[in-house]
Amino acid sequence: MYTEERLTQAKRQRKRAAVMPAVLAGCALLLFVLGLVIRVKILAICGLILPLMAAFFTYSMYCAPQVRYVRFVNDVRTGRSRGLDGSFVSLDPATRTGEEGVLIHDVIIRTAPDDVETLYYWDDRMPFPELEPGQKVKGTSYGRYIIQLEAQ
């Protein structure tokens, strides 16, 4: 599931998201220098503060999540994974932000060896397989994040 193609696609999205904050920061610098050159104090102050605030906002809302997702995909691809065997219990349709800063769904799986319900996380950007409650599943996980899941 997390292939080189997925990593390349995430890096492309990260680059695209970084354009707007960079343009706003460049405008801030340009207006600040222009205000200093023509000696208009209010232009220099407002020209620096307002575009930098907008750049920070756009970076926080659009670029930072992409940076975290690229880091997550790279970690999942290169990190240590383990097998997952059990039966599917439920999938929470609501998304939330996980520890890595990635949008996730909560998935509960009853593990086979000890018959305990365990909470795992499913990446929101990945399609979830069609599973019925109680159906046997087999897969791979990286920590609590499910890398691959399929019905048996």
98 has a pLDDT exceeding 90: no
Please check whether residues 103 and 38 belong to one and the same domain: no
116 has a pLDDT exceeding 90: yes
We report the CATH number of the domain holding residue 101 as: 2.40.50.140
Task: Count how many domains the chain has.
Answer: 2
23-53 pLDDT, tens per residue? Answer: 999 999 999 999 999 999 998 999 889 999 9
Q: Looking at residue 115, what DSSP letter applies?
A: -
Residue-level pLDDT at 61: 93
Residue-level pLDDT at 112: 82
Residue-level pLDDT at 114: 84
- Tokens 């890595």 locate to 100
If you average pLDDT over every residue of the chain, what do you get?
92
Residues 6+ apart with CB under 8 A from 151: 129, 131, 135, 136, 137
148 has a pLDDT exceeding 90: yes
68 has a pLDDT exceeding 90: yes
Domain end residue (candidates: 59, 78, 97):
78
For residues 116 and 109, the answer to whether their CB atoms sit within 8 Å is no
Please check whether residues 43 and 70 belong to one and the same domain: yes
Structure-block tokens of residue 54: 């907008």
Rounded to two decimals, the pTM is: 0.84
152 has a pLDDT exceeding 90: no
For residues 129 and 150, the answer to whether their CB atoms sit within 8 Å is yes
Give residue 54's domain range.
Answer: 4-78
123 has a pLDDT exceeding 90: yes
Structure-block tokens of residue 148: 């691959």
User: What secondary structure does DSSP assign to 13-82, as a single string?
Assistant: HHHHHHHHHHHHHHHHHHHHHHHHHTT-HHHHHHHHHHHHHHHHHHIIIIIHHHHHHHHHHHHHHHS--E
